[in-house]
Amino acid sequence: MFVTTIEKTNNVLNQKALRTAEQLGIPYIERNKRTIKQLQSYYNQPCLVVGKIKTELYDLHGIDPLFFHPNMAAVRMKRIEKGEVDPFVRAAGLNQGMSILDCTLGMGADALIASYIIGSSGKITALELNPFVYFVIKEGLQNYPFKNEKFGEAAGRIEAVNIDYLTFLKKAEDRSYDVVYFDPMFTERVIESAGIQSLSSFASYKELTDEAVVEAKRVAKKRIILKDHFRSDRFSRFGFSVEKRKTAKFHFGVIELE
């Protein structure tokens, strides 16, 4: 992995890329008008590309970078505001003032929706194991120029942590979050948005374990939620009740604790 800049770079961006490289402990390589393809075929490594408002994460295919964009969450938010039911919000029973532990930040869409719904009196912590996915999405949540002010504030309230959820859960106090949420990678992942190809290249495919579910039951006050592919056996394996949605490719499973 290395860090470079967008092609039309300047001193400020070069410095930003250098700081990013230092922070992540990886090399900074000057762009020097080379294409990402040229850089990648020379160095044969994935890379981070620092731009003015976003940092992009390219895998070795170099075509569909992962970066933060609130589009998916914004579409869902508009539907919620029109009174439509969001399956995640319903499954998690989200309301103002609640506390959520999102164990799988990914592109940050669910965390953003949750943060918006629980509002400034709520608390959201979102965990991501891959340091590069974490970096790009955390930076996006903090710096994206949101048109909708409330959305920007909701993004800013997400406390993102680069950690394995099992490590975090083991250290967390009993009943310290209302809801604990898992959205693990599934091999049959439905194409939901741009960047998903890159997410699949970098994301952790660590399996959900009994140990993690036991810890989640200790840490959650109200519910544990699992999002998974409709064909997944994880729901039955870990004791989640599933509300099947007829045409949906994924379902939400719930373990009710109260």
Ligand X SMILES: C[S@@+](CC[C@H](N)C(=O)[O-])C[C@H]1O[C@@H](n2cnc3c(N)ncnc32)[C@H](O)[C@@H]1O
Residue closest to 109 by CA, chosen among 149, 143, 58, 69: 69
| Residue from 3, 92, 129, 224 binding ligand X (CB under 6 A) | 129
45 binds ligand X (CB under 6 A): no
CB 251 within 8 A of CB 208: no
Smallest distance, ligand X to C-beta of residue 188, A? 12
Binding pattern for the stretch 155-184 against ligand X, x by CB under 6 A and - elsewhere: ---------xxx----------------xx
CB 138 within 8 A of CB 106: no
**Cβ atoms < 10 Å from Cβ of 42:** 10
Burial class (CB in 10 A: 0-12, 13-18, 19+), 201: middle
| Residue from 55, 56, 123, 128 binding ligand X (CB under 6 A) | 128
CB 70 within 8 A of CB 112: yes
CB 101 within 8 A of CB 222: no
Smallest distance, ligand X to C-beta of residue 194, A? 12
**Residue of minimal Cβ distance to ligand X:** 106
Smallest distance, ligand X to C-beta of residue 109, A? 3
107 binds ligand X (CB under 6 A): yes
**Cβ atoms < 10 Å from Cβ of 78:** 11
Smallest distance, ligand X to C-beta of residue 169, A? 9
228 binds ligand X (CB under 6 A): no
Smallest distance, ligand X to C-beta of residue 128, A? 5
Residue numbers at the binding site for ligand X (CB under 6 A): 103-104, 106-110, 127-130, 133, 164-166, 183-185, 199, 203-204, 206
